[in-house]
Amino acid sequence: MSAPLPFNRPPLTGRELENLRDVLQRRELAGNGTYTQACQDWLKARLGVAEALLTQSCTAALEMAAILCGLAPGDEVIMPSFTFVSTANAVVLRGAVPVFVDVRGDTLNIDEKLIEAAITPRTKAIFVVHYAGVPCEMDAVNEIARTHGLVVVEDAAQALLSTYNERQAGALGDIACFSFHDSKNVVSGEGGALVIKRADFVERAHVLWEKGTNRKAFLKGEVDKYTWVDVGSSFLPSELTAAFLGAQLEYADDITRDRLATWEFYHHAFAELERRSNQIVRPVVPPKVRHNGHLYYLLLRDGASRDATIERLRVGGIVAPFHYVPLHSAPAGVKFCRTSGSLAITDDVAARLIRLPLWYGIGDLAGRVVEAVSREVLR
């Protein structure tokens, strides 16, 4: 029997230990040190944004974003239900209400045509999710936001180095949140970043990041002592996390190219199966998008076929999981959130979706996945 083939294997560049040793030699372990600044500078330069702040996770970045949006109890935020719980939890923690709208049947991103109907006098923001590293239809989203005076937050957890109309994901709205969890393209174990395009959010973001204090102003010599001035928390990661991430960011382009090559291999290999079997649907990437090869999924005929395929692949040593349970159907979603209109597409795709193994350096093992999936679909 072949060796088990996992869904994910975090990348290593070879520079991580070197960076970690440097941190230990410097005795610079707490956050906001040399490597934190280097990573933030990389993100600012690459994305072309006003500020970037490393965080302990994308979840932490989303929580900061919710505070920057000025959310208060009873406010509403429009978002898809087909997302990870952190997107909604950040809103709920402020006492606000996530309002779910359906996704598009092609990209599985929020359906921009449904957003305006979900807006009420309580709406404060739109949280979009760039599923599988494919950016949403951001020109339309931003136009709606401008018309109604709303903040646009990108949940770009999966979308580092993806682009929309030649603009970087993370610089498409007002605020963006990235993940460096070990399931992502570029990793630090746990970790994330808050990226800010709107300059008027930057000063407060630093206060939130520094536990609600004006420590940044103190370090710049603008005040003679720092003190508690606003809400905040311990959002920043340690230098050990930042050092690991720094080694990864140096190779971000190589990692992305490798993942894209595997993504294209899958896409080409399944084209004929999609055409002749009518049993699968491949991902759709709009022409204006350049994605980062984060995730390759297939939509199978129905939920029963999907579940049976996942189990048979597991028995054969291949881990190919489903993805999100839609948040509107989760117990907390029922308790804290509401829906706007039908979420039929969300329910349908969530029941049929299977994710295939894809990681940096998977190489020829992707062929084993194609053979096994094709065999199961045609059985």
Residues assigned a catalytic role: 184
Q: How far apart are CA 31 and CA 242, in angstroms?
A: 8
Q: How far apart are CA 69 and CA 194, in angstroms?
A: 13
**Nearest one of 88, 124, 60, 58 to 328, comparing CA atoms:** 88
Classify residue 287 by its DSSP letter.
T
The dihedral through the CA atoms of 287, 100, 86, 66 has a sign that is: positive
The dihedral through the CA atoms of 260, 266, 268, 271 has a sign that is: negative
Phi, psi values for residue 23, rounded to 5° = -60, -45
- The helix-helix angle for 239-250 and 34-47 (nearest 10°) equals 40
Q: H or E segment at 139?
A: helix 138-148
Residues contacting residue 116 through CB under 8 Å, at least 6 positions apart: 144, 148
Angle value at C-alpha 61, between 151 and 351, nearest 5 degrees: 85
Phi, psi values for residue 367, rounded to 5° = -65, -35
Helix (H/G/I), strand (E/B), else coil: 192: strand
CA atoms within 13 A on the CB side of 336: 22
3-state helix, strand, coil in the chain (%, to 5): 45, 15, 40
Cα–Cα distance list, 179 to 156, 194, 231 (Å): 8, 9, 23
